[in-house]
Structure 1
Amino acid sequence: MDTPNLTHRPATDDDLRQVVDFVQTPDELFFAYPKGTWPLTVEQLAAARAERRGSTLALLDGRPAGYANFYQWHPGESCALGNLMIAPWARSRGVARYLIGVMERQAREHFDARRLDISCFNANAAGLLLYTRLGYTPKEVVERSDPQGQRVALIRLEKALG
């Protein structure tokens, strides 16, 4: 199996046109950006990006393949990962693992963070399995509502950054 050629760079406004297409269903949007409304638009993502830090684009063989940022940052303490989205064609190719590693390094280097927090809804089995494989441990479960008003569990996970 070939090793994927993964790189990254800061996301730009122009990248958002491609990133919005990473989200294929209302459920995927809810997992990646619970405050968003279906379908995700460039304007929604640009507004979120303006309020966040560290918006990063992962590239697989030079093609935009993943996106993430921090929705909370507490210098010297922690950052919270948000808006993690992977292009459908790039899934199961190591992009999410790579991008999370990039964001862990950015949290340490730019915010002197000792911990990275990730929130994941109970229905997002792929996300929960990935995060626990990467060393994230659940710290609390809180009740939320999905867009249809149904009760869901938001699992908050954390990982110490070394």
Structure 2
Amino acid sequence: MAVVFRPVADADIARICSFVGSPQELYFFFPAATWPLTHEQLRDSIAQRSDSTVIELDGQVVGFANFYRWASGGTCTIGNVIVDPEVRGAGLGAQLIGQMIHIARSKHQASEVTLSCFNSNVAGLLFYPKLGFVPFAIEERKNKQQERVALIHLRYSPS
């Protein structure tokens, strides 16, 4: 299994969009987007973000992430994290997050790496602490149905 990280290319957009299987999954991946996810929505998001990165497994794109906040010497915040449903649970998401932490530190000299996860995203809430992320704040938000939800902010804190 050969794993490669590289910047996202326009040719990857359709494949990344295909990873989103439901409106709820889209909300976790890209809360500002509307269902169904279009190539234009993802392109627009990528244009406003930094370091949009894909992970390839044996030449096939199987994951995607980027930064929606980045500051040299400050905080980089990871967003738009998604992994192909066919390979979830195989450790590729952990490798992708590890690569984003590496980019934050090496390219941006980030002193802090953060990400956020909605309270209903149980898979994410169980996944990120295994990688060294620790909750530090909770923010009230409204979901697409205007229901109250909690956005849990996590900070990378390697042990």
Alignment TM class, shorter chain as reference: over 0.9
* Contact preservation (8 Å) 1:114, 1:160: no
* Contact preservation (8 Å) 2:132, 2:158: no
Taking structure 1 as the reference length, the TM-score comes to 0.95
Q: What is the rounded CA distance, in whole Å, between the counterparts of 2:140 and 2:2 in structure 1?
A: 39
Q: Which runs of 5+ in 2 are unaligned?
A: none
Amino acid at match of 1:24: G
Q: Are 2:111 and 1:114 equivalent residues in the alignment?
A: yes
Q: Are 2:145 and 1:148 equivalent residues in the alignment?
A: yes
Which of 133, 138, 143 matches 2:130?
133
Structure 2 counterpart of 1:41: 38
Q: Are 2:82 and 1:85 equivalent residues in the alignment?
A: yes
Aligned residues: 159
* Contact preservation (8 Å) 1:76, 1:114: yes
Q: What is the rounded CA distance, in whole Å, between the counterparts of 1:23 and 1:85 in structure 2?
A: 8
For the residue of structure 2 that corresponds to 1:111, the secondary structure is coil
Q: Structure 2 matches for 1:47-62, cutoff 5 A?
A: 47-62=44-59
Structure 2 counterpart of 1:64: 61
* Contact preservation (8 Å) 1:116, 1:159: yes
Q: What is the rounded CA distance, in whole Å, between the counterparts of 1:158 and 1:38 in structure 2?
A: 29
What is the Cα-based RMSD across aligned positions, in Å? 1.3
Amino acid at match of 1:33: F
Shift of 1:17: 1.1
For the residue of structure 1 that corresponds to 2:70, the secondary structure is strand
Structure 1 counterpart of 2:16: 19
* Contact preservation (8 Å) 2:29, 2:80: yes
Of 55-64 and 40-49, more deviation after overlay is shown by 55-64
Q: Which runs of 5+ in 1 are unaligned?
A: none
Taking structure 2 as the reference length, the TM-score comes to 0.96
Shift of 1:11: 0.4
The runs of at least 4 aligned residues of structure 1 exceeding 6 Å deviation read none
Q: Deviations over 1:40-96 (max 9, x none)?
A: 111000000000000001012221100000000011011000100111111111111
* Contact preservation (8 Å) 2:5, 2:54: yes
